[in-house]
Amino acid sequence: MAEYVLETKNLGISFGGLKAVQDVNLKIKKNEIYGLIGPNGAGKTTVFNMLTGVYHPTTGTFYLNGEELKGLPQNKINHKGIARTFQNIRLFNNMSVIRNVMVGLHDQPEFKCTLLESLFRLPRHFAVEKKMRDRAKELLKIFGLYEERNHLAYNLPYGKQRKLEIARALATNPTLLLLDEPAAGMNPQETAELMETIRFVRDNFDMTILLIEHDMSLVTGICDNVTVLNFGVTLAEGKVDEALANPEVIKAYLGD
Amino acid sequence: MAKIWNAICKVKWKHFVNYIAIGIVGLIFSIMTLTTKLPMSTTVLLETITLNIVLAVSLSLVVGFLGELSLGHAGFMCIGAYAGGIISCIFKESNIEEGKGILTFIVSMIIGAVVAGIFGFLVGLPALRLKGDYLAIVTLAFGEIVKTVLENLDLKVENGFNIRGALGMRTPRFDKETLFIIGFVLVLLTVFIVQNLIRSKHGRAITAIRDNEIAAKASGINVTKYKLMGFVISAALAGIAGVYFSFANYNVKASVFDYNYSIEILIMVVLGGMGNVSGAIISATAITWINTELQTSLTGELAVLKDIIYALILVIIIIYNNAPGLKFFRERFNLRRGIDWIKHKVLRIKHDASHEKDDESAWDRVPTKIEMNEVLSTDFVVVESTQNPDKEEK
């Protein structure tokens, strides 16, 4: 077992001549909640996109539990154990809540079922569907979405859509969960609830979490360590209080 | 007895509505044609209707469930028609069933489906990287290429088949009185394949791609595989429809399968409500019937009016379905409310709320209606190099 769940080495990407992210070195231990913060346009989401295979890094590489994942397509990276949520919620809007979670379960080895088995309704199709539905129901119960399971995802209130997105990401059975601004657009009460949820996920799913967030109350509340980015460069890293007290960081956020 | 009754009640009849409706209609007409001969016009109409239902349901898999706009459906049908025609000609020359028996049909159907499926794979592999309008252009071009190539192909094989360019290919024709029975069987087969696909985990992956491709990728779905799966199955079913077409006609001509035909199938899918199999069946039936009625009733000088009336009907239906001003009217007078009214007032069936809670009922809600502009939108394109990388999420 490698020392770190996620380790990036000099991770960087440039679009044409623009160096969007340079030399990001993240080291995330197991069961840690790690924050990635920085002003707008600092390249946080770009880092997420590199870690999930949307973009391929032009320099450096990254390892999940010691296995190099650079260059794999998105679905393969997901199979290896990195799941994510999105900054602006991306649910399957025209599908029911339970089906959203079942899509997340789709590629688990235990729910394998070939096309022909499904087309001709062989016994395994029914067995697999039942197993998937039961598993999805369990997840929905955990996140308090069980009652709404047959609603369209589109009709859920905002906070529940966020929760559903996390539930769907967890359905893919990841070892590392990436949350992209989970508290965006939430009121303080909802944020407090979200912090509980994130802690709950870490403890009960044995999860390591990397999150992007602008809400400092959430970052100081739950993160163990943070990395501060600005213009694609690491400004500071380490314990939350120390990193936020760094004069460079204060300058980046507030100006001179 | 009670056990059997309970078992019957337990079956979710809602899932089988399409099969039952098609089966009953098919059975009635089959009995009629076998006992008292039906007029030729009716059998031909039934033939065309079943053909168009197969095409519309198979296209709805790509347009409605996969959410990609394909305008090359007639091209795949054309390939199937020629493949099926060649097989039946070879069978005729080899003195098997005179090239118009059930065995011939099954063999040519399988070969037609496979050939069309292979073409679907070859076209889909590069084309499905494109989205919306661009995919539509490529598939449109594919249909035209197939048509033009076959129109200019002169190929004669001794003791086999004879493709005579623009004149087409002579093929043995089935008995007109009973051919539509095969048509109904094909409709059942198509509905069986499409519905079972959609109501399985594979179909769920396909609808997930339609709803949000980026999220589907991030959830571990192999997008290329499932797009190709939907596209190839749809093409293969179009191929089967083509074989059926070749059996219904003495002559298979490539010029029939022009892009107007593709558009007409697309209209059936759109009017039926995209992502709705029953809707596609109903609208394919209605449009084919209206078309045939107009063709037979408007003769001579009036024939020009046909397209105008046809277009007007389409415009009226689309306005009725989508105009915001008619929302109130739509909510008051629609089929679902009518059925509910009959249930409550006439049959006095109480609304069963516990049934709504049942998970199984979620299956029925799979095929949701999506808007045309959602299919056409180029919502999100991952650009490898962009000026402003953080703005990638619109």
Which residues in chain A touch residue B356, judged by CB atoms under 8 angstroms apart? 150
The mean per-residue pLDDT over the stretch B95-100 comes to 73
Contact call for residues B12 and B247 (beta carbons, < 8 A): no
Closest partner residue to B368 among A44, A94, A102, by Cβ? Answer: A94
Here the tokens at position B218 are 């991030």
Instruction: Count the alpha carbons within 13 Å of B187 in the hemisphere toward its beta carbon.
Output: 32
In a domain, B235, yes or no: yes
In a domain, B333, yes or no: yes
Q: Is the pLDDT of residue B118 over 90?
A: yes
pLDDT at position B349: 67
B233-258 pLDDT, tens digit each: 999 999 999 999 999 988 888 998 98
Q: Is the pLDDT of residue B380 over 60?
A: no
In a domain, B355, yes or no: no
The nearest CA of chain B is from the CA of A236 a distance in Å of: 21
Subunit contact A20:B389, Cβ cutoff 8 A = yes
Number of domains in chain B: 1
C-alpha B222/C-alpha B322 separation (Å) is: 34
Three-state DSSP class for A213? coil
DSSP class of B303: G
Quote ipTM for the complex: 0.90
Q: Is the pLDDT of residue B271 over 50?
A: yes
Domain that holds residue B62: 16-350+360-375
Higher pLDDT, B360 or B250: B250
pLDDT at position B350: 61
Q: Is the pLDDT of residue B378 over 50?
A: no
In a domain, B7, yes or no: no
The pLDDT-based confidence of B110 (bands split at 50, 70, 90) is very high
Please state, for a pLDDT cut of 90, what percent of chain B lies above it.
40
Kindly report which listed range (A38-42, A132-136, B205-209) carries the lowest average pLDDT score.
A38-42
**Which residue ranges make up each domain of chain A?**
1-81+174-256, 91-172
Three-state DSSP class for B131? coil
Distances (CA, A) of B235 to A175, A186, B70: 40, 46, 10
The nearest CA of chain B is from the CA of A131 a distance in Å of: 12
A159-195 pLDDT, tens digit each: 889 999 999 999 999 999 999 999 888 888 888 988 9
pLDDT at position B393: 43
B314-357 pLDDT, tens digit each: 888 878 877 777 777 777 777 777 777 887 777 776 655 444 44
pLDDT at position A124: 92
In a domain, B43, yes or no: yes
The pLDDT-based confidence of B79 (bands split at 50, 70, 90) is very high
Three-state DSSP class for B220? coil
Which residues in chain B touch residue A125, judged by CB atoms under 8 angstroms apart? 200
Subunit contact B390:A45, Cβ cutoff 8 A = yes
A108-154 pLDDT, tens digit each: 888 888 999 989 988 999 999 999 999 999 999 999 899 988 888 88
Which residues in chain B touch residue A93, judged by CB atoms under 8 angstroms apart? 211-212
| CATH class in words for A1-81+174-256 | alpha beta
Only one residue has tokens 């009716």, namely B42
Instruction: Count the alpha carbons within 13 Å of A68 in the hemisphere toward its beta carbon.
Output: 8
Instruction: Count the alpha carbons within 13 Å of B222 in the hemisphere toward its beta carbon.
Output: 11
Contact call for residues B73 and B146 (beta carbons, < 8 A): no
pTM above 0.90, yes or no: no
Q: Which residue of A has its CA nearest to B359?
A: A150
Q: Which of A57, A55, A62, A22 is nearest to A210 (CA)?
A: A62
C-alpha B323/C-alpha B167 separation (Å) is: 46
Q: Which runs of E-coded beta strand occur in B110-188?
A: 154-156, 162-164, 169-170
Kindly report which listed range (B126-135, B288-297, B352-361) carries the lowest average pLDDT score.
B352-361
Task: Return the ∠ at Cα B124 (arms to B284 and A50), rounded to 5°.
Answer: 120
Residue B292, C-beta contacts closer than 8 angstroms, at least 6 positions apart: B45, B48
The mean per-residue pLDDT over the stretch B271-293 comes to 89
Residues of B with CB under 8 A from a CB of A: 193, 196-197, 200-205, 207-208, 210-212, 214-223, 229, 275, 356-357, 359, 361-362, 365-366, 368, 370, 382, 384-387, 389-390, 392-393
Burial track B150-182 (b if 16+ CB lie within 10 A, e otherwise):
bbeeeeeeeeebebeeeebbbbbbbeeeebbbb
Subunit contact A107:B221, Cβ cutoff 8 A = yes
Q: Which residue of B has its CA nearest to A79?
A: B220
Q: Is the pLDDT of residue B33 over 70?
A: yes
Here the tokens at position B318 are 């689309």
In a domain, B4, yes or no: no
Subunit contact A94:B382, Cβ cutoff 8 A = no
In a domain, B393, yes or no: no
Residue A64, C-beta contacts closer than 8 angstroms, at least 6 positions apart: A5, A6, A80, A81, A82, A175, A176
Distances (CA, A) of B305 to B41, B212, B294: 22, 43, 9
pLDDT at position B383: 42
Q: Which of B62, B198, B237, B222 is nearest to B132 (CA)?
A: B62
Three-state DSSP class for B96? coil
Q: Is the pLDDT of residue A206 over 50?
A: yes
Subunit contact B207:A169, Cβ cutoff 8 A = no
* CATH number of the domain enclosing B141: 1.10.3470
